[in-house]
Structure 1
Amino acid sequence: MATSSVSKGCFVFKPKDSKKRKTSTTADYFHKGKAVSENDKLRFSSYQSLWQQMKEETERLQENLNEKMFDNFISFIKKSHVQVNSEGNDWSYRMRCSEIPTAALVLGVNVPDHEMTVQSLSDLLKQSLTPHVVCLQGKECTTVKQVLQKILKHLMGGNGNEEEEEEEEEEDMERSVDFHQIKMSCSMASLCRWYNTVAKKSTSKSPRKKRKSLLQHEVAPPIVIIFKDLESFLPKVLQDFIIIASNYIQRLPLVLVFGIATSPIIIHRMLTHSVSSLLCIELFQSLPCIDHLAAVIDKLVLTTKFPFKLSGKVLQVLINIFLYHDFSAKNFVKGFQLSLLEHYYTQPLSFLCCALNETNARVHHLSHDDCELIRQLPSLMGYVDHQDSEKQVELLTNDQYLKTIVQTLLTDLHVYHKNYFAVLKCLHIFTSSLPKYPLGKQIRELYITCLESNVWEIKEYSSAFQLLGMMAKDELVRLLQKCVEVLQSSEHKSLAQATQTLEDFLAKFQKLDDAPVDDVEDGEENITESQRSLQKKTDLYQLQKTLMEMKVLKRRKKPSRFECLRMDVLQFMDQLARQYLVSPDTQPLHELVYFQDASTLRRHLNAAPRAALQMALSNPYYYLKNEALKSEGGTITYAAPDICIIYKLHLECGRLINLYDWLQAFATVVCAAEGKDPDEINNGQVEGVIHARFIRAVSELEFLGFIKSTKRKTDHVARLTWGGF
């Protein structure tokens, strides 16, 4: 067990026969400390399977959203140094070669999503273009020396993130560089020497089987340096590094990438004109975070691919956190995952929240206890109340009959969602372009409205249809064509008739264009005659009489064929909404697939640290679960921790707290807890231990932000918070 070393050190030797501590897994929490049942395992496996599908869907979505930007970015890097080895005598070419190719990547204010985007970009570069990719963060690079050290460590020492299972021994020996030497010789000259000896050798070798290079090996691969958060870098450090790198741009194929959260103008604010002129900047814009959220909601929420659904209040909590906190689609997906986990954890029948092809087998294996839990669901109780007496008896007593009905209801629930989302998208197509957006501009707003109540009962619904009643023919035809495409994509039999009706409306509008102009109606002739009479000389009485006649004739005017057809279209859309957009709360067994506990989700995601601190200090039993800490409101328990006693005593004081009086009150409580007589404190002298405990508790309270020192009185502290639990 002994060891020798030139330098002093501490060595830890673990015993060979030591038993590993048993760690709890996520599956252990599903049975809540009870015996593990088959339903618990099934719930956990269902959660894992469903979340894996959702995770893969979001990853594919992320790749598709950034695909165009990444393709342009790869093309920019490929062309940045492709002509370095070619001969060029043009003045503009020589000027461009003396500049550092720089990509300004505007990622948006959704900072939590930047890591995911940058990581995807880095992986894509390593797989398709170059293995020499370095990612830098502002908090790790406060000096130029640290910037160079990070670059040399990632390139010369190996990144550790490259998944290359088969590497040649010669390359391994060249990459095994002592990190102490890197720190001693951190300079661009060292990087040049390494690149000339190591990187260019890879160009003469055949490409690896696993790496599909888009860049032919005629040109050495570039070195891409990504500044993840440009705003957090010190301007002086950034300027010095760019000046140093510009002197080596003819020998090193460098490419800089600036990750920008605010605006591209930040580059010119951080860099002087002389430094920014050394860069050849090209701008790349990522998808706005609002569009990213809309795509995520469309793929995860407004779909029948996944059986799990969110209630209106839960979805509103997640959207509010997105809009008012971080604009992060990544955090929105995490909140969605938390909702999924809470649903499968708290709902004992959530194992029935699965794909439709798995439902029949799981319903068939329901036990008697499971059937009793199903009978206790409020939605099924309402369904039973609407049945006749014989079916009610069968549903409440016969488990086999109940299983048959449950299978039918779950199938109907799936069909309900298919029709619901198709009609919802059609209604959104009609109302999203209206002035002032009475039913919302985004489909998520309309969806939340439909979840919380019947949409046709609100005032905004009637306002929207009044505006639709004034829509022009061309716009109405365009909206009908979009609705037909949506209904055809649903491919459900119940909406086939609705699709055919909309196609018939389109055909009638087409006939309106082809039909000849009808003769002028009698009412229109009378109006024209009245308008002509207005042009003649007349007195005030005759003028008033003519205007009244015109008003009456306009009221009697028959609507045109287009107006009648437009009214029929709106009536049909209103009929579709009333038929298919009924609230999910009316559907039997909706509790199995809908998560409705918005308060739990809000408590987990919207943390309130001050409220938690005040609860812990005023009522320590809430967290410590010690019976000796139980007390009535407002009283001070002697067995409470020192900081809790100090906190309750400071609640009795005003704006300024006298430290001496505070100490005496604390000593009185502590002495009573230890069984001492508080009157034994002679002349106000307290023991040194009590005094030290008081100072430590006051310091902790100051650290938590409840008090602060004040210059108004030297022996006082100022109170910073008011109120408590």
Structure 2
Amino acid sequence: MDSTISVSKGCFVFKNGATRAQKGTTKSKKAKQSIAPLLGKEITDQPFYKTYSQTWTNFITDIEALQRECCSKTLGDLVDHIGKAYSGDSSSVKNILPAAALLTGINQPDHHEQFETLSQRIKEQLSASVCVIQSRDCSSIKAAVETMVYGFVEEPFEEDEDDRDHKRLRRSQCTMQVLVEWHKSSNADASLVVILPDFECFNGKILQDFILILSSYCAKIPIVLILGVATAVSALHSTLPYHVTSKIRLKIFQTQAAPVGLNEILEKVILSPKHSVRLSGKAFKFLTHIFLFYDFSINGFIQGFKYCLMEHFFQGNAYALCTSYWSSLKMIKSLTHEDMETIRHLLSFRPYVEALNDCQKVIAILTDDGYLKKKLPKLLRDCHLHFVYFRTFLEFLTVLVQNLPKSPLGKLQRELYCNCLSKDITDTTEFKESWQMLGFMSKDEFVASVSRAITATSDFVTSQDEDLDLTEIFRPKINEKLDALKELLTKVVMAGMEVKIHSKASNSDLKDDLKQISRHDLKEKLLQMSKQEKPISDFTKSVNETLDFIKIHIVEEYLKPLTKAPPLYELFVFSDIATVRRNIIGAPRAALHMALNNPNYYLQCKCCELDSNLSMVPTLPDLSVAYKLHLECGKMINLFDWLQSFRSVVDYSEEDQEQVDPEIQARFTRAVAELQFLGYIKTSKRKTDHVTRLTW
């Protein structure tokens, strides 16, 4: 008899060596699974993609190393606190629950990664069991306890594929007594760490009862509670009353603020001269504004920056030259005619050609690819040197002006970066105000400020020497500027404060002259006297010379806007802000209008093709037909007229039918309900058979 033949209906299972599906898998298991690449070999083998991959790998490696360095101290102290929670004198007080509050800041999207890193570190260093409980799983105190116990007892077995004989517990069986027995049978010395990453989202009454339950069991099992607080310590006091806080021994830990972390990433990684690709002032400001005004998510900023890199390199193989200088020289030979044409179409290439005086050179550089390839090394070298000088003296200017009253040019390097790339900063009111404040400083303040800027610049160049190409070219030039500035600063230190007056007329002679001249001559004499230069001290003269040197030989020479940058700077600077804005910040209303007004734009089906946006065909979705008809109406829409119009489109017939087909009416009702859900219409209380249009 066939194995699939049965007297009654049934389901026949053939194991065939298959294993049961796992609800949860660890990251290591996911990494082992082979994932088909999204892009084909025709893309991944291109030079621009290889350069993009290498560039992004360098960026993300440096960012992750910096983030580990910033978080290591706080997380290390927190892990040490957990390890000492039940050792020595810490465990002397009964029924007092050891707890820690980790102030994470309001950057909610990054919290998951922070607590995941913390959990991993606790497991590695303390061999403790960790359970992360989300507020969405704690609708009641019973659900909170069951989630915690299940997380400790069952989740390790869910991740273990080999342990199939383990007797599973239902959530309703997960009680505190089960947790106590499990802990005694497994490892009586290991601590149980309970992490609540979103403290503010928990119900206050449930959280209070949960803490009291944990405190009553901390004498039997070593439980440590960690609270993730996004706002401030005051949130703890407002949520937990005295009878709850008296049952916990709380210690506060604070992570690095999100804006501070972002500034470190920008200054030490993204703006570092060892990376060739850069953002224009507008693109840079756009990404920072998303961070500051939307979510404070560092991870979101990094992903936005990654998208800018993709858009930059995917413009063609010519952009593969956006790498280190010596690597770019190797790629010049592999450039095709299309790549050379891409370079010739850059906006900065035209002024370079127009500056050539020899007609033969102009013709050669526009038509001969070989001749242009010979010129590329010098053009690329000029671009690399320009951006190294720009970043180096940006460090100088930032340190010089960041402590001025009200900080007209800004306190942060990212603010100066945007301003210097976008416009000629010396022509701005803020720059003139800053220079005026520097001129008003006392001798000690001025010397200290300029000395700090020189020291910071020297340290920056020294720290970047190993990672940069063309060091033998830019290092002597930077040292030359700094040495000249030190000499001027020495003159400021040696200058006196006395005002020297070379010519001084006696008061009696001046009075006699005033008595003998007419009113008109007196007016002219006073005007001439007002135009004479006022006597100044040697100190003021030396300060003015120093500020003029900084303005002319540093700011105007090296901190130039992109319009004055060397030719081919577009290969190194991403400036397509419109594309980034369109893809990173969505326009839901425009997308909805496009989808409903022209469904073929998204569906790409032949049945929805339209001759124009105003036309309609019966094969359009009902929602699209109702939407296009509602655009033709005024503020108040008569439902009966709307239904008749809808019927005339989707079920047109020359015979005049008084009775509406119930199927057509049901389709219309559903379309109207969907439009109301999307917010295009609402019901009217004035007229029951009308709806009100909400968008125009």
Are 2:80 and 1:66 aligned?
Answer: no
Aligned residues between the structures = 644
Q: 2:108 aligns with which of 102, 106, 111?
A: 111
Query: Using a 3 Å threshold, how does the CA distance of structure 1 residues 84 and 656 change in structure 2: closer, same or farther?
Result: farther
Query: Using a 3 Å threshold, how does the CA distance of structure 1 residues 12 and 360 change in structure 2: closer, same or farther?
Result: farther
Q: Distance in 2 between matches of 1:471 and 1:161?
A: 68
**2:129 matched to which residue of 1?**
132
Which region of structure 1 is more displaced relative to structure 2, 466-475 or 634-643? 634-643
Q: 2:623 aligns with which of 643, 653, 659?
A: 643
Q: Offset of 1:635 from its aligned partner?
A: 4.3
Structure 1 segments (4+ residues) deviating >6 Å: 7-16, 517-520, 523-527, 552-556
1:611 maps to amino acid: A
The answer on whether the counterparts of 2:74 and 2:254 sit within 8 Å (CA) in structure 1 is yes
Which region of structure 1 is more displaced relative to structure 2, 329-338 or 339-348? 339-348
User: Per-residue displacement from partner, 1:673-704 (whole Å, max 9, x unpaired)?
Assistant: xxx21x4213xx11122112212211221222
Q: Distance in 2 between matches of 1:136 and 1:579?
A: 57
Are 2:61 and 1:83 aligned?
Answer: no
The answer on whether the counterparts of 2:318 and 2:335 sit within 8 Å (CA) in structure 1 is no
Q: 2:639 aligns with which of 659, 664, 686?
A: 659
Q: Offset of 1:310 from its aligned partner?
A: 0.8
Q: Distance in 2 between matches of 1:443 and 1:519?
A: 37
- Secondary structure at the counterpart of residue 267 of structure 1: helix
2:134 maps to amino acid: Q
Q: Offset of 1:137 from its aligned partner?
A: 0.9
Q: Offset of 1:161 from its aligned partner?
A: 9.9
Q: Offset of 1:454 from its aligned partner?
A: 1.6
**1:213 matched to which residue of 2?**
none
Q: Distance in 1 between matches of 2:210 and 2:503?
A: 80
C-alpha root-mean-square deviation of aligned residues, in Å? 3.4
User: Per-residue displacement from partner, 1:620-676 (whole Å, max 9, x unpaired)?
Assistant: 33333456632445444444221111112222333333322211111122233xxx2
Are 2:290 and 1:278 aligned?
Answer: no
Q: Distance in 2 between matches of 1:237 and 1:502?
A: 66
Query: Using a 3 Å threshold, how does the CA distance of structure 1 residues 125 and 311 change in structure 2: closer, same or farther?
Result: same
The answer on whether the counterparts of 1:523 and 1:556 sit within 8 Å (CA) in structure 2 is no
**1:490 matched to which residue of 2?**
461
- Secondary structure at the counterpart of residue 649 of structure 1: helix
1:98 maps to amino acid: N
Are 2:488 and 1:505 aligned?
Answer: yes
Query: Using a 3 Å threshold, how does the CA distance of structure 1 residues 187 and 642 change in structure 2: closer, same or farther?
Result: same
**1:209 matched to which residue of 2?**
none
- Secondary structure at the counterpart of residue 397 of structure 2: helix
Query: Using a 3 Å threshold, how does the CA distance of structure 1 residues 82 and 664 change in structure 2: closer, same or farther?
Result: same
Q: Offset of 1:435 from its aligned partner?
A: 2.4
Q: Distance in 2 between matches of 1:68 and 1:436?
A: 33
The answer on whether the counterparts of 2:4 and 2:12 sit within 8 Å (CA) in structure 1 is no
Q: 1:27 aligns with which of 39, 48, 54?
A: 39
Are 2:153 and 1:156 aligned?
Answer: yes
2:168 maps to amino acid: F
Consecutive unaligned residues in structure 2, runs of 5 or more: 19-33, 463-474, 509-524
- Secondary structure at the counterpart of residue 180 of structure 1: coil
Are 2:263 and 1:294 aligned?
Answer: yes
Query: Using a 3 Å threshold, how does the CA distance of structure 1 residues 384 and 11 change in structure 2: closer, same or farther?
Result: farther
Query: Using a 3 Å threshold, how does the CA distance of structure 1 residues 236 and 583 change in structure 2: closer, same or farther?
Result: same
**1:404 matched to which residue of 2?**
374
Q: Offset of 1:294 from its aligned partner?
A: 0.7
1:195 maps to amino acid: H
Q: Offset of 1:9 from its aligned partner?
A: 7.2
Q: Offset of 1:178 from its aligned partner?
A: 3.0
Aligned-residue sequence identity (percent) comes to 33
**2:667 matched to which residue of 1?**
693
Q: Offset of 1:176 from its aligned partner?
A: 6.8
User: Per-residue displacement from partner, 1:577-624 (whole Å, max 9, x unpaired)?
Assistant: 010011234321112121111111111111121221112212333333
**1:543 matched to which residue of 2?**
none
Alignment of 1:545-556 (within 5 A): none
Q: Offset of 1:555 from its aligned partner?
A: 7.9
**1:207 matched to which residue of 2?**
none
1:620 maps to amino acid: P
Q: Offset of 1:280 from its aligned partner?
A: 1.2
Q: Offset of 1:434 from its aligned partner?
A: 2.0
The answer on whether the counterparts of 2:402 and 2:412 sit within 8 Å (CA) in structure 1 is yes
Q: 1:714 aligns with which of 671, 674, 688?
A: 688
Alignment of 1:360-509 (within 5 A): 360-389=329-358, 390-488=360-458, 489-490=460-461, 492-509=475-492
- Secondary structure at the counterpart of residue 169 of structure 2: helix
Query: Using a 3 Å threshold, how does the CA distance of structure 1 residues 343 and 473 change in structure 2: closer, same or farther?
Result: same
The answer on whether the counterparts of 1:523 and 1:557 sit within 8 Å (CA) in structure 2 is no
Q: Distance in 1 between matches of 2:686 and 2:405?
A: 59
**2:585 matched to which residue of 1?**
606
Q: Distance in 1 between matches of 2:612 and 2:37?
A: 39
The answer on whether the counterparts of 2:639 and 2:690 sit within 8 Å (CA) in structure 1 is yes
1:562 maps to amino acid: F
TM-score (norm 1): 0.82
Q: Offset of 1:159 from its aligned partner?
A: 3.5
Q: 1:562 aligns with which of 539, 551, 558?
A: 539
User: Per-residue displacement from partner, 1:542-585 (whole Å, max 9, x unpaired)?
Assistant: xxxxxx99xx8998653222212211221111021010011234
The answer on whether the counterparts of 1:157 and 1:177 sit within 8 Å (CA) in structure 2 is no
1:457 maps to amino acid: D
Which region of structure 1 is more displaced relative to structure 2, 688-697 or 143-152? 143-152
Q: Offset of 1:519 from its aligned partner?
A: 7.7
2:662 maps to amino acid: G
Query: Using a 3 Å threshold, how does the CA distance of structure 1 residues 2 and 710 change in structure 2: closer, same or farther?
Result: farther
Q: Distance in 2 between matches of 1:148 and 1:459?
A: 62
The answer on whether the counterparts of 2:498 and 2:538 sit within 8 Å (CA) in structure 1 is no
**1:533 matched to which residue of 2?**
none
Query: Using a 3 Å threshold, how does the CA distance of structure 1 residues 645 and 520 change in structure 2: closer, same or farther?
Result: closer
The answer on whether the counterparts of 2:146 and 2:172 sit within 8 Å (CA) in structure 1 is no
Query: Using a 3 Å threshold, how does the CA distance of structure 1 residues 618 and 468 change in structure 2: closer, same or farther?
Result: same
Query: Using a 3 Å threshold, how does the CA distance of structure 1 residues 662 and 15 change in structure 2: closer, same or farther?
Result: farther
- Secondary structure at the counterpart of residue 348 of structure 2: helix
Q: Distance in 2 between matches of 1:49 and 1:375?
A: 26
2:455 maps to amino acid: E
Q: Offset of 1:71 from its aligned partner?
A: 2.5
Q: Distance in 1 between matches of 2:690 and 2:642?
A: 10
Are 2:210 and 1:241 aligned?
Answer: yes
The answer on whether the counterparts of 2:48 and 2:316 sit within 8 Å (CA) in structure 1 is no
- Secondary structure at the counterpart of residue 251 of structure 2: strand
User: Per-residue displacement from partner, 1:454-498 (whole Å, max 9, x unpaired)?
Assistant: 211222222221121111222222222222223323252221101
Are 2:560 and 1:590 aligned?
Answer: no
User: Per-residue displacement from partner, 1:216-271 (whole Å, max 9, x unpaired)?
Assistant: xxxx2321111010111111221111111111111221111111111111122222
Q: Distance in 1 between matches of 2:222 and 2:139?
A: 24
- Secondary structure at the counterpart of residue 84 of structure 2: helix
Q: Distance in 1 between matches of 2:499 and 2:620?
A: 93
- Secondary structure at the counterpart of residue 195 of structure 2: strand
**1:216 matched to which residue of 2?**
none
Are 2:168 and 1:179 aligned?
Answer: yes
The answer on whether the counterparts of 2:131 and 2:194 sit within 8 Å (CA) in structure 1 is yes
1:490 maps to amino acid: V
Q: Distance in 1 between matches of 2:499 and 2:547?
A: 27
Query: Using a 3 Å threshold, how does the CA distance of structure 1 residues 507 and 176 change in structure 2: closer, same or farther?
Result: farther
